[in-house]
Amino acid sequence: MTEAPRVPSVRPDLRGWEAPWDQIRAVVAGLGLSGFAAADTLAELGASVVVVDAATGEQRQRDAETLGLVGVSDVRLGAEHTESVPEVGGAAPDILVTSPGWRPDSSLIQDAEARGIPVWSEVELAWRLGGRPGARQPQWLTVTGTNGKSTTVRMLEAMLLADGRRAIACGNVGVPVLDAIRDPEGYDVLAVELSSFQLHYTELLDPLASAVLNITSDHVDWHGGMQGYAADKAKIYENTRLACVYNVDEPATEQMVAEAEVQEGCRAVGFTLGTPGPSMLGMAEDLLVDRAYLPQRHRQALELGELADFGPLAPRHVVANTLAAAALARAADVEPAAIREAIRGFSAADHTIQPVAKADDILWINDSKATNPHAAEASLRSFSDVVWIAGGLPKGVEYDELIAQVAPRLRYVILLGTDSSQLRSSLRRHAPDVPVVGGGVREDDSEAAAEQGAADPTAAAALEALLSGTDGAAAMRAAVAEAARVARADETVLMAPAAASMDQFASYRARGEAFIEAVAELMERP
């Protein structure tokens, strides 16, 4: 790490609530949660605002009407309004505040950059504003990574609350940061989840502590490649004040810290599932311990909790996320007793290693949020003998490394998705002895279907058709029925797709709900 000279910002005058926002012309791109919050905030500040969104559905129409009530009357819906940056009040805008979904190669963003219009995320706008005048001015603890961000910030929020802080999990986790910083009372601490998309459009933050949990291939098409994706993730460390938290077991995150320009006195703090060295948090047998935030860290460790505090399930990646959250919480002087209290009272978010049912000694687990190979691997490593329901929209990732790592844990695989042939091919190469059904096998390919685990070629072809059809609910019912047919006592049926959901479902949540409903129907049968 090197000490960061303060990078000159674009529009340094726009800092704080008393800045000349009423002289600003702004365009807000996107009318989702973050875009609505940005438009609402800018209107409150007195800026002139135009909102554009390609969508024209009923929800967007209602959002536009609501914005009109707070003073944003110029809302332009339809793709034709997103080809270039519109004028505001007859002149070019001063800033474009974009929602995370807008790709850097979109015509709107390209037009802004060509014309020298600063492009900000709503996070950038929130950081510039700080807390509301007269309210608490929050410290920021920031988290990013390919997987585990939401679990980590929710655990971090629980630790802060248990310590008596007024805190909230916000950002990519659900509550826009702008809504949090506009709270009339204000917060002591914000636990901020940041996606790579948000970081891409964020100029510079100054968090108390920051963390990259892990880094693996995801959204590489959006970022133009793995290098761009990793560079955007690494931005979270820039200008950190006290602690840059990295994953000891993933050296790429430590390298990000080494290359970051930080404020004077900032430290590198690692977390690991192994035995921690000085300036790390980790495991001492079944204990979670801190060897970073205590004076005698070269000779002592501070107990924060134990595996039994997690209850009957303590998946490795959940423990790792907890250690990362604890590293950030300890940077904010959270007491060890509060960390232990948070662990004991914490329950994982829905669709993340979520136990759904147990019957006939078979455990059914919903991890629909495992939308990439890294997340699925973490889930699969939590169990031994697995009937795996996987597949979907692959997002341009590779599966060979995943399958090579988890093949010994797989007993049977059921592939959802209109075309999961890439995952199926990896299974054939690296787990050739594991029976597989699904993956986009043609209905008339009965020989291949029979080879993949079904005795009756006609029934196999029918199953393949259901699993690869566009009716997600029907596909999930078929997958669950097939899992029930083949699962044995002491095995786990794990739905951890390693792929996105949009080919058959509206979202990973919808996919998870379909799994829960299908399992419930199965349990109700005589």
Residues at the binding site for ATP are 145-151
Distance CA 102, CA 454 (A): 44
- Residue (of 480, 460, 468) closest to 504 by Cα position: 468
Distance CA 127, CA 464 (A): 50
Q: Which residue has the tokens 């998946």?
A: 315
Distance CA 192, CA 360 (A): 42
State the DSSP string of 53-78.
ES--SHHHHHHHHHHHHTT--EEEES
Residue ranges of the annotated binding site are 145-151
Residues 6+ apart with CB under 8 A from 136: 166, 185, 186, 187, 188
What is the number of residues in the chain?
526
Please give the C-alpha separations between residue 324 and each of 174, 328, 404, in angstroms, as whole numbers: 20, 6, 27
Looking at 73-128, which runs of residues are DSSP E strands? 74-77, 95-98, 119-121
Distance CA 398, CA 400 (A): 6
Distance CA 321, CA 520 (A): 30
Distance CA 151, CA 321 (A): 7
Residues 6+ apart with CB under 8 A from 155: 321, 322, 325, 342, 343, 346
Residues 6+ apart with CB under 8 A from 73: 67
Inter-residue contact 203 to 121 (CB < 8 Å): no
Contacts 24+ apart (CB under 8 A), 250-259: 250/214, 250/215, 252/215, 253/212, 253/213, 253/214, 253/215, 256/212, 256/215, 256/230, 257/1, 258/1, 259/234
The secondary structure of 374-406, three-state, reads HHHHHHHCCCCCEEEEECCECCCCCCHHHHHHH
Handedness of CA 136, 264, 149, 491 (dihedral sign): negative
Distance CA 478, CA 500 (A): 19
